[in-house]
Chains A and B, each alone.
Chain A
Amino acid sequence: MKTFQGICKLAFKGLLASKQRTLLTILSVSIGVASVVTLMSIGKGNEQIMVSQLESLGTNSLFITPGAVVEKRVRKAGSAITLTWEDADAIASSVKGVDVVPEAQASCSASYGGENIDTKAIGVTYEFEWIRKLNLKEGRFITPGDVESSSLVAVMGNKVAKEIFKGDRVVGSQIKLGDNYFQVVGLLESKAGSGMGYEDDSVFVPISAVVRRMVNVRTPEGGHSISCITSEVKERSEIDQKKDEITNLLRKRHRLRADQDDDFFITSMEEQIKMVNELSSSFTIFLSVIAMISLSVAGIGIMNIMMVSVSERTREIGICKSIGAMKRDILVQFALEAFALTVGGGIVGIVLGIWGLPGMIDKIVRFMGSGGGTLCIVSPEIIMMSFIISMGTGLIFGLYPAYKASGLNPIDALRK
């Protein structure tokens, strides 16, 4: 033990003896570790953002969309006109324990004053507001009465409102969507950072206004075609059961024979989150691989420096051996030096990775204007892992030079 203490001191003195080299090595390791921390945090942050965006849509949601157009067994682009507003009403009335929001989208131009921009009018019912957790900044949302009477009223998404009204009063103004004039009754708060962003770019109107006045597309049975139905299941445990019930109901309504495929899709939020998780974890792995590469470059840097150090200090090693240093003592001393370099670099790198780089990246991302919120999430596991990895690098890349140093023949070492 006492020998070990003494050798620790020797290793420390050895590092101090060449301060510049020590600092440069620590710098290279710390940059490697910092990039590991940063990249893994970005991966993690990215995952979190995607999941929270999905979750903000409601974790108990089922999304029903029309099937693809199939002609002669070949799937074509675009959606079939199979899903109707009447389907939504049927689900609402015969499937218990779900809230139903139909959505009909219409791409159109919005004009106000001299401004004219392309946007999306989304026809919804009043439930949309709380199922999608929208917050109003001003005015009100669509009411049941608006839907009933197909009122030409609009609730503006935050970003599209900014673009078209340019600081003018929003609520109370009139806006032309397609061929109709709509009264603006509400303005939403920005969802950037937590939402998918599409709420910011859209104008919400009563669904009846869309299907009757804007895109009047009918199914052969006379139903009003819509783009999506969101069903919010009240009990989480019933999601699968409700999915089956809705499937059966829709198959019956669409008069599908047993041998025919569904002409609609139902996906649950859970499935979507799972998919996103899979996607983002492969993204995280990709980032980690890049980080590993940068760290192994740092590791080779350490090896290089320790090798130089060994050959520079061959004579010293000879001297130590001549006064009785064992192979083990030399090995421990050089391994300790490499270890100290990597642990030092690891600590600096983690500090840099937590407080330096993510902040910088956040600023750059914000500056470029794509979303907001925290992009990097540094978790204790990431810190632990990068610390262990940096120590591992030190040991792996430091041991070989140390081993080489310890194996020198004393007399050969002394002659250098």
Chain B
Amino acid sequence: MIKVSGIRKVYRMGDLELAVLRGIDLEMNDGEMVAIVGPSGSGKSTLMNILGCLDKVSSGSYKLDEIEVTRLSDGKLARIRNRKIGFVFQSYNLLPHLNTLENVELPLVYRGTSNRKLALESLEKVGLSDRAHHKPTELSGGQQQRASIARVLTQSPSIILADEPTGALDTHSSKEILNLLTELNQSEGITTIIVTHDPSVAARTRRIIRIEDGLVTSDEPVNNGQEN
């Protein structure tokens, strides 16, 4: 359960103050699948980084599963990222010198519970077990994105944050990735938040939050009938 109220994010450049988020209020229930849309520069990525505990708010409150995240130390935030939040980035963000399996296992290394078998199972779930010992550079874009989703699966997080997950993929791979995310949302009940500017991606979710100029301008459920 995510509860955000009055979040502001201000960047200072000398005397200039640039407010990227100007007071965001949001609530997301467990198991929801949400799209955050908006033009570039609207603050949607900043919002995602804050939701993912990668960035800190200037003011406001962010409660994740009843925990006030804004007051946590760096160490505690790292722990939350490790256990509760799974990221899917546009650029996959796999470590180039580790093979697929090692990349998928990495969150468990930091958790201190390395488990090769679990990592292999995650790779199997995304249909990539035959690529376990390949380096990321030897995989296609779609395969790399599936590997990064497998990495999220080994974390078994309560939230998946996907920032333009299909931004660098062709239509076929995009469809695959979205199917995978939808499936995980439905089978594992993981809250899934997708940041995108692509209306067709947003349409695959069940709720679209529009952000413009650092404010929420609309927050509406998706009509299921529109799904193709």
B54–A7 CB distance below 8 A: no
Closest CB-CB distance, A329 to chain B, in whole Å?
A: 6
For A18, the closest partner residue in chain B by CB is: B97
Q: 0/1 per residue, B155-176, Cβ < 8 Å to A?
A: 1000000000000000000000
B114–A6 CB distance below 8 A: yes
Interface residues of B in 53-83 (CB under 8 A from A): 54-55, 74-75, 78-79, 81-83
Closest CB-CB distance, B85 to chain A, in whole Å?
A: 8
Is B106 interfacial (CB-CB < 8 Å)?
Answer: yes
Closest CB-CB distance, B117 to chain A, in whole Å?
A: 15
In the complex, chain A residues whose CB is within 8 Å of the CB of B102: 13
Would A322 and B81 be within 8 Å (CB), given that A410-B54, A411-B49 are in contact? yes
Q: 0/1 per residue, B74-116, Cβ < 8 Å to A?
A: 1100110111000100000111111000100011011111100
For A319, the closest partner residue in chain B by CB is: B93
A3's partner among B49, B52, B112 (CB-CB below 8 A) is: B112
In the complex, chain A residues whose CB is within 8 Å of the CB of B112: 1-3, 6
B95's partner among A1, A7, A316 (CB-CB below 8 A) is: A316
In the complex, chain A residues whose CB is within 8 Å of the CB of B96: 17, 316
For B82, the closest partner residue in chain A by CB is: A324
Closest CB-CB distance, B190 to chain A, in whole Å?
A: 16
A323–B107 CB distance below 8 A: yes
Q: 0/1 per residue, A231-253, Cβ < 8 Å to B?
A: 00000000000000000000000
Closest CB-CB distance, B195 to chain A, in whole Å?
A: 14
B75–A327 CB distance below 8 A: yes
CA of A410 to CA of B81 in the docked complex: distance in angstroms? Answer: 11
Closest CB-CB distance, B36 to chain A, in whole Å?
A: 17
Is A14 interfacial (CB-CB < 8 Å)?
Answer: yes
Closest CB-CB distance, A316 to chain B, in whole Å?
A: 6
For B105, the closest partner residue in chain A by CB is: A6
Q: 0/1 per residue, B39-54, Cβ < 8 Å to A?
A: 0000000000100101
Residues of B in contact with A, size category: 20 to 34
Closest CB-CB distance, A160 to chain B, in whole Å?
A: 69
For the residues of A in contact with B, the DSSP-based class is helix
CA of A414 to CA of B49 in the docked complex: distance in angstroms? Answer: 11
A326–B75 CB distance below 8 A: yes
A13's partner among B54, B87, B97 (CB-CB below 8 A) is: B97
A17–B97 CB distance below 8 A: yes
Is B207 interfacial (CB-CB < 8 Å)?
Answer: no
Is A320 interfacial (CB-CB < 8 Å)?
Answer: yes
Is A385 interfacial (CB-CB < 8 Å)?
Answer: no
Q: 0/1 per residue, B6-42, Cβ < 8 Å to A?
A: 0000000000000000000000000000000000000
In the complex, chain B residues whose CB is within 8 Å of the CB of A17: 96-97
CA of A2 to CA of B112 in the docked complex: distance in angstroms? Answer: 5
Is A325 interfacial (CB-CB < 8 Å)?
Answer: yes
Is A120 interfacial (CB-CB < 8 Å)?
Answer: no
Interface residues of A in 10-33 (CB under 8 A from B): 10, 13-14, 16-17
Q: 0/1 per residue, B134-160, Cβ < 8 Å to A?
A: 000000000000000001000100000
For the residues of B in contact with A, the DSSP-based class is helix
Closest CB-CB distance, A226 to chain B, in whole Å?
A: 80
In the complex, chain A residues whose CB is within 8 Å of the CB of B93: 315, 318-319, 322, 414
In this complex, the member of A17, A319, A324 whose beta carbon has the largest number of chain B beta carbons within 10 angstroms is A324
In the complex, chain B residues whose CB is within 8 Å of the CB of A6: 109-110, 112, 114
CA of A163 to CA of B102 in the docked complex: distance in angstroms? Answer: 75
Closest CB-CB distance, A20 to chain B, in whole Å?
A: 14
In the complex, chain A residues whose CB is within 8 Å of the CB of B52: 322
Is A149 interfacial (CB-CB < 8 Å)?
Answer: no
CA of A101 to CA of B97 in the docked complex: distance in angstroms? Answer: 78
In the complex, chain B residues whose CB is within 8 Å of the CB of A7: 109
Is A5 interfacial (CB-CB < 8 Å)?
Answer: yes
Q: 0/1 per residue, A306-347, Cβ < 8 Å to B?
A: 000000000110111111111111000000000000000000
In the complex, chain B residues whose CB is within 8 Å of the CB of A323: 81-82, 87, 106-107, 110, 151, 155
CA of A61 to CA of B49 in the docked complex: distance in angstroms? Answer: 85
Closest CB-CB distance, A53 to chain B, in whole Å?
A: 57
Closest CB-CB distance, B167 to chain A, in whole Å?
A: 15
The 6 closest A-B pairs by CB, nearest first: A324-B82, A6-B109, A17-B97, A3-B112, A411-B54, A326-B78
Spell out B's residues near A (CB within 8 Å).
49, 52, 54-55, 74-75, 78-79, 81-83, 87, 93-98, 102, 106-107, 109-114, 151, 155
Additional A-B contact list (16), CB under 8 Å, known A3-B112, A6-B110, A322-B81:
A2-B112, A315-B93, A320-B110, A321-B54, A322-B52, A322-B87, A322-B93, A323-B81, A323-B155, A324-B79, A324-B82, A324-B111, A326-B78, A327-B74, A410-B55, A411-B54
Can you show 26 pairs from A to B with CB atoms below 8 A apart? A2-B112, A2-B114, A3-B110, A6-B110, A6-B114, A9-B109, A10-B98, A16-B97, A315-B93, A318-B93, A319-B93, A320-B95, A322-B93, A323-B81, A323-B106, A323-B110, A323-B155, A324-B82, A324-B155, A325-B110, A326-B79, A326-B110, A327-B74, A410-B81, A411-B49, A414-B54
